[in-house]
Amino acid sequence: MPLSTATGRPPLLQAEPGRAPEAWSAEHRDELRAAVAEHGCLLVRGLGLSDPGSTAAVLTRLADSLMPDREPFAPRRSYTDGVYSSSKWPPNQQMCMHHEMSYALEFPALLLFACLEAPASGGATALADSQAVFDALPPELTGRFEQEGWVLTRTYHDEIGASVAEAFGTDDRAAVERYCRAQAIDFAWQPDGSLRTRQHRGAVLDHPGNGRRCWFNQVAFLSEWTMEPEVREYLVEVYGPDGLPFNTRFGNGDPLGEDVVRTINKVYDTHTVREPWRSGDLLLVDNIRTAHGREPFEGPREVLAALADPVRRADREVRTV
């Protein structure tokens, strides 16, 4: 299967016209997955994916196994087990580069996206090679994160962000506490009934395929400094600096400066590739090697997402360098 490669764009494969998507994807499954292993991502054009039912069947066939979305930051619609709508994020706001569920002990190794309706403008799922990002970041920064890891803090309010029930699948306190203990998440219920959590994770992983170091985290995406300034100011005023829906820190608990987040996002920008969605497109992403984001858009946009091939890590894998 010849791939089209161009600077600034992900590898692109044109599907054979006139073939049923399920049959074509089943026939070329091994080749598609091999291409993702080689390049880190692959966009397939011309499949004609158009409805959730048949599209979910294609995504399921391409995966080894699907997994549920855990601890989400924004609501999703569930089409079937492991197949969801894209996260409900304001269409006029950038969704910064990140690796899906990199804050969890178990995360998907493979992501599958299917565009059922492309927006009128914008809305591309942007991509960046996390191995190249790691190599391009300042060594003193990656060295510190390799040694310390990173910390994610969350406060679950009913008014903003994902609720406790949306994030944990239940609002039963005992069940939430059992989940947090099993997933190495520190938690504390607040007097107003809200929940605060803290989890410490490694920030860099060796890729299981080629052994290269990957910048694998959501340090910049979930930072207070990535919020729109007026949104951050409002949230701090209402909830206080420790009550933000999410925030990130260095692994030893030190706060992250705005300059650190700006440096990370600048490197991401330098290594970003994109291709505007067309209705019917399929995108496969190596979630460890390739970060993804979503660009602002106008008009309706329907993209399905599947979280595939779960990987569990012994998280406290912070290195001494």
Domain positions in the chain: 12-129+275-310, 132-265
Task: Output the pLDDT for position 321.
Answer: 35
Classify domain 132-265 at the CATH topology level: Double-stranded beta-helix (3.60.130)
Distance separating alpha carbons of residues 190 and 127, to the nearest angstrom: 38
Cross-strand bridge partners of residue 195: 156, 189
Degrees to nearest 5, angle at CA 317 with 315 and 321: 155
Distance separating alpha carbons of residues 63 and 189, to the nearest angstrom: 38
CB 109 within 8 A of CB 311: yes
Strands 41-45 and 78-80: unpaired
CATH number for the region 12-129+275-310 comes to: 3.60.130.10
Task: Output the pLDDT for position 1.
Answer: 67
Task: Output the pLDDT for position 316.
Answer: 39
CB 162 within 8 A of CB 73: yes
Question: Do the domains 12-129+275-310 and 132-265 sit in the same CATH topology, yes or no?
Answer: yes
Task: Output the pLDDT for position 32.
Answer: 97
Strand order in the sheet with 95-98: 95-98, 290-294, 125-129, 272-273
pLDDT tens by residue, the chain, 321 residues: 678 888 999 999 999 888 899 999 999 999 999 999 999 999 999 999 999 999 999 999 999 999 998 898 877 888 888 899 888 888 888 889 999 999 999 999 999 999 999 999 999 999 999 999 999 999 999 999 999 999 999 999 877 778 899 899 899 999 999 999 999 999 999 998 899 999 999 999 999 999 999 999 999 999 999 988 998 999 999 988 888 999 999 999 999 999 999 999 999 999 999 999 999 999 999 999 999 999 999 999 999 999 999 999 864 354 433
Task: Output the pLDDT for position 122.
Answer: 94
C-alpha distances in angstroms, 1 versus 25, 29, 31, 218, 264?
13, 12, 8, 34, 35
Strands 213-215 and 204-206: antiparallel
Helix (H/G/I), strand (E/B), else coil: 119:
coil
